[in-house]
Structure 1
Amino acid sequence: MEHITNAASSDAYTSSVQNALSVLTTLHITSYMWMPETDVKDSVDAEYEYIVVGAGTAGAIVAGRLAQSQARVLLIEAGGDPPIETIYPGLALYTRWSEIDYNFTVSSQPYHHDCLEEPYFTLHAGKVLGGSSTISIMLYERGNKQDFQRWVTASNDDSWSWENVLKYFKRTEKMEDQAILNSPYRQYHGLDGPLIVTRETRMEVDAYHSIVQQLGGKVILDLNSNETVGYSRAQYTLKDYRQSTATAFLKASDTSTYLHLLKNTEVTKIILDDNNRAVGVKAKRNNKMYTFNASKEVILSAGVINSPKLLMLSGIGPKEHLECKGIEVKVDLPVGKNYHDHIGVVIAHRLQKSNETLTQVDVREYPTTAIIGYVAINESKKYPDYVLSGHFVYGKDAAKLPLQENAFYDRYRSCIRNTLYRESKRHNMLYAFISNPTPLSRGTVTLRSSHYKDQPVIDGNFCSVEVDLEHHIDFLQHYTRVQNTEIFMQLGSKLLNPIEKKCGKYEMGSRKFWRCYIMCMMSPRNHAVGTCAMGSVVDSKLRVLGVQGLRVADASIIPVIPSVGTYAPTMMIGEKAASMLIEDM
């Protein structure tokens, strides 16, 4: 990696690695690990009770649990088997912008265009067994009681409270961190679920814990518990290799006579009878159209973009919009509304020079040393004002990994990325993403056309509510106090400013400076929710309003975004949906 000296060489290096991995994919060297698919001809003739659309973060769980209850299930996935880069945590970066990533385009505002390579953001979503759990950054975060109380309010159903959904979090999980297992926090974790959860153990995190304590903050062993404010080592869904809902429910050893799986098959429409009952789906595979029938229910688990897209293509959505696209309206619902995501802003601190060189990458390890903070500006508050995701990178080549992350994840302009590289070269680094846990701004997902192949139009509308921006300024001013701590000064810390040309006219650290910085460096965190929200599109049992035999089970049903990433909450939704379906059998 010594040849990486700027943004262009970083892009070239990453592209070459992806090309090499793509060649390995064609050899199908991981195919033996995964559940084989059913002959499509057998599926057409079969009698299924349930059809699950999407073998992703929630869908794999729904289908797996239904099959375990001896229901006859067809699971349809648009993607294929997870390739080798999804197996090892150290290769996680290379799943983005690849063939297993939908790479949805999300509109940005004109003021972002000076800072981005393209005039849009990208929403990454997995087109592969396990869905986004197969390409995520593997951070396991649940959220707090207040998050789920908002769901209770929206759904008018107390079964979505923190106390009542905890069992569904635990059902999937197998916690293996000994410190947590030997503590009172053990009671908040699953011990025998199919998906392993571990905790960051590398000692570099201790330095940040000392900084937190100097600022009067609290270090917590486990933030996935009843604790709601503090800092903790990150928890991951990995043990030597990535843990996903594919590894948990769709391995070769999970093969069941009750569960049929079709891969590389794209559902194009939900079939409704004259009584608005879902009776099956139409799907395309190898350029042929097929019809599959369900005697009980169809469950959409296609994700926050594709679930509303399929509903609208099937005549379920905003009346005026569907009529504009020439689609017969079956049910008038606000499908695609309420789109929202966390907005993150990266802050880079250069630490002391390093005499060490990065060792050979261990692909089994998480690529950075991570800490999570749920931070209250007023320390007497019970719930966080902002969320911090901090990543330490060590060694004289420390700039290389974040450079690729910026190039791939946020698509900053080369001048911004080159500044970060130049300033951080041969230093240890701390990169922190500061996120607003409860944004008020809302966007939309609408159809581009009535053709299933066309990507929908996604308008993020980020920071359109002024208070979101004002709050983020507060968060950055609060977070950057770390540079005044004794430990940070001992480390020779320097706050890097990669956008000096754009924001240099403002005093660094002032509210005007941070406003300019946020408008340039903000990006969505790939935690999008809300497009088939409980209370407006589905009821508290996830049944689509005005339709029989049709449910949605994925992050699109979340009415108000939780304060953390949506990976663990979406798995919980899958478990709860499966439980409700089984209860209704």
Structure 2
Amino acid sequence: MGTGSSGTTVAARLAENSKISVLLLEAGGNQNLYNDVPAFDSKLTATDQNWNYPIVSQNYSYLAYVDNRVNIQQGRVFGGSSAINSMNYYRECPDYYRLWSDITGVKNWSFADVLPFFLKTENNLDNDLVFNEPMYHRSGGELTVITPAIDVILKNYIIASKQLGYKWTHMDGRNPMGTTYIQKTIDSNGYRESIAKVFLENRSQKNLRVLGNSLVTKILINHKKQAIGVEVYRKAKIYQVFAKKEVIISAGAIGSPKLLMLSGIGPSDHLKKLNIPVVSDLKVGYNMIYPSLVDSNTISFDIINQSLVEKPLETFKNIYNFFVNHSGPLRKEVSGVTCFPEMSYNSTYPQLSNGCVLPRTSYIDTDLDALVAPYKHPDQWRQYFRPYLNRTSFSLFALIKRTKSVGRIQLASIDPLEEPIIDPCLFCDKNDIDDLVKSIKLSLKIYTSTHMKKYIKPFKYPIPGCTPCLHNYFCDTYLKCIVQANTHWILPMGGCRIGVSPKSDAVVDENFKVFGVSNLRVINSCIIPVATEQINAISVMIGEYGAHKIINNF
């Protein structure tokens, strides 16, 4: 259930067997032309294609925001988050999957195990990469991946990072320490490659039926603790749909834990408080992990010569060039990544990065009211942004990939239409603040380098509510203030963690089967036990691996 990167992949692969009948249910509706345009990703998150899940007020973060909280982006549309995200294609390194196994005890989840399932879907149009790295990349799969042309600012950022000793590295993450640019799921015409376009629009399979605007509200489980179907809310009515073989839940990192708990699968103490009969007592909603990063508007640098970059404006000329000539600024969604050796996870996993920065150019819209709306003190933020409206800046997305803080998802009530209670508990472990400050400081060495000063300069005013130091503008106290005022958690995962036993807080086993309930699997990012900041490629791999296990009766 769910047409995101994992769910659509599972459904499409199962339907390749003509003897299997698949019903794919999606809470959202169809994509539109905006979804095709890479430069419009930020516009899409402000539409009904985004769940916009609210989080609870935070004690140690979002201090600049109204109520100390924000809403979380998750796709509610055919294609799920792949239809509204930044299109980054990144796999993580071998140590990442080794840590999966070490934490959970699961087998057959090494990099060597999962690589074939990355390759199965990959259609990489970087011919040099495919030729030079045939063991790691291929063309011919369904999901098109490109190496986008980088702009002048990012090109000089790469030069500056090399001058500071950061080596050029693999764009697929095999050896992440150093600098590279990120590949994108964009087709040869410059259009976004969402997973729905790949597997649903471009195929016709009579045994795969897809229904949109259909919210799954409950898993139907019989007295033998067998999943036998689902309850669906569609057009203000409730329907029941029964499955002959299995029910597969791919409702996203938030939706999947919510649905399981509504169905009686979850922590017994929580379910009993809501008078939900307990079917299987599992740690659903626990172990929610995530990366966290400094918001793009927080530490930004003005591009001195604006003629060096094209503005992705929604003009007739740009739209015509994009859809007719497949050219212009609307097809560009370019970003890079530098991961710092100084911030490796630990000596046991030397390849595993923790502190990184994602450099990219960002256009600052002229709608000042929209920019300042989330903040407690909008007038101060108006002053901060006003000099840079209708200009392109170079954003510093410093992040930590694997926070020590852990969040939780709970039900607010038994009403399936009510939003769940989401508490990321951001910075509940204070070490995360120090780690993110360190990542910012390492990033600033590149942004403020002699080479980059030719192209960019810091914004005129300091961050509202935070005070720089006279002796060192970006001092630790200023950066700590920024971190707590304006840092986001992104890409939640882990609420239905994979593992070998419920005693280890696991919800599903290594074959995605839910403990205590037969004929039920959860296959999407909520099973992930180790956080990462680029999740789309991994989610597609999870879908491929899940379909493989179902077809081969694991």
TM-score of the pair, normalised by structure 2: 0.88
Query: Quick check: 1:344 aligned with 2:293?
Result: yes
8 Å contact from structure 2 (residues 91, 172) kept in 1: yes
- For residues 143 and 491 of structure 1, the distance between their equivalents in structure 2, rounded to whole angstroms, comes to 31
Query: Quick check: 1:377 aligned with 2:326?
Result: no
- For residues 210 and 482 of structure 1, the distance between their equivalents in structure 2, rounded to whole angstroms, comes to 10
Matched with 1:218 is: 167
2:24 counterpart (60, 68, 75): 75
Gaps of 5+ in 2: 323-329, 500-505
SS at match of 2:403: coil
Query: Quick check: 1:250 aligned with 2:200?
Result: yes
2:493 counterpart (506, 513, 529): 529
8 Å contact from structure 1 (residues 403, 417) kept in 2: no
Per the alignment, do residues 411 and 164 of structure 1 end up closer, same or farther by CA in structure 2, a change over 3 Å counting? Answer: farther
- Provide, for residues 122-152 of structure 1, a one-character-per-residue CA deviation record: whole Å limited to 9, x for no partner: 1111111111111111111111112111221
Query: Quick check: 1:354 aligned with 2:323?
Result: no
8 Å contact from structure 2 (residues 61, 427) kept in 1: no
Matched with 1:451 is: 415
8 Å contact from structure 2 (residues 171, 183) kept in 1: no
Shift of 1:369: 3.5
Matched with 1:550 is: 520
Matched with 1:518 is: 483
Shift of 1:76: 1.1
- Provide, for residues 396-416 of structure 1, a one-character-per-residue CA deviation record: whole Å limited to 9, x for no partner: xx53389799669x7685346
Query: Quick check: 1:560 aligned with 2:530?
Result: yes
SS at match of 1:209: helix
Per the alignment, do residues 407 and 387 of structure 1 end up closer, same or farther by CA in structure 2, a change over 3 Å counting? Answer: farther
- For residues 357 and 290 of structure 1, the distance between their equivalents in structure 2, rounded to whole angstroms, comes to 52
Aligned sequence identity (%): 27
8 Å contact from structure 2 (residues 466, 478) kept in 1: no
**Which amino acid counterpart does residue 122 of structure 2 have in structure 1?**
E
Shift of 1:428: 5.4
Per the alignment, do residues 108 and 214 of structure 1 end up closer, same or farther by CA in structure 2, a change over 3 Å counting? Answer: farther
Shift of 1:425: 5.5
Matched with 1:442 is: 406
SS at match of 1:523: strand
8 Å contact from structure 1 (residues 111, 519) kept in 2: yes
Matched with 1:572 is: 541
The number of residue pairs the alignment matches comes to 523
**Which amino acid counterpart does residue 328 of structure 1 have in structure 2?**
P
**Which amino acid counterpart does residue 528 of structure 1 have in structure 2?**
P
Shift of 1:188: 1.1
The 5 A counterparts of 1:404-423 are 414-415=378-379, 417-423=381-387
1:260 counterpart (209, 217, 230): 209
- For residues 412 and 387 of structure 1, the distance between their equivalents in structure 2, rounded to whole angstroms, comes to 29
- For residues 186 and 496 of structure 1, the distance between their equivalents in structure 2, rounded to whole angstroms, comes to 48
SS at match of 1:377: helix
**Which amino acid counterpart does residue 148 of structure 2 have in structure 1?**
E
Shift of 1:504: 4.4
Per the alignment, do residues 60 and 75 of structure 1 end up closer, same or farther by CA in structure 2, a change over 3 Å counting? Answer: same
Matched with 1:469 is: 433
Per the alignment, do residues 152 and 416 of structure 1 end up closer, same or farther by CA in structure 2, a change over 3 Å counting? Answer: farther
Query: Quick check: 1:61 aligned with 2:9?
Result: yes
8 Å contact from structure 2 (residues 366, 390) kept in 1: no
- For residues 102 and 137 of structure 2, the distance between their equivalents in structure 1, rounded to whole angstroms, comes to 26
Shift of 1:338: 0.8
**Which amino acid counterpart does residue 481 of structure 1 have in structure 2?**
K
Shift of 1:357: 8.3
Matched with 1:502 is: 466
2:228 counterpart (279, 290, 293): 279
Shift of 1:513: 1.8
- For residues 86 and 378 of structure 1, the distance between their equivalents in structure 2, rounded to whole angstroms, comes to 36
Matched with 1:42 is: none
TM-score of the pair, normalised by structure 1: 0.84
Gaps of 5+ in 1: 1-52
- Provide, for residues 87-143 of structure 1, a one-character-per-residue CA deviation record: whole Å limited to 9, x for no partner: 221222221131111110012424545411453221111111111111111111111
The 5 A counterparts of 1:390-405 are 390-393=359-362, 398-400=363-365
1:481 counterpart (433, 445, 454): 445
RMSD of Structure 2 on Structure 1 (CA):
2.5
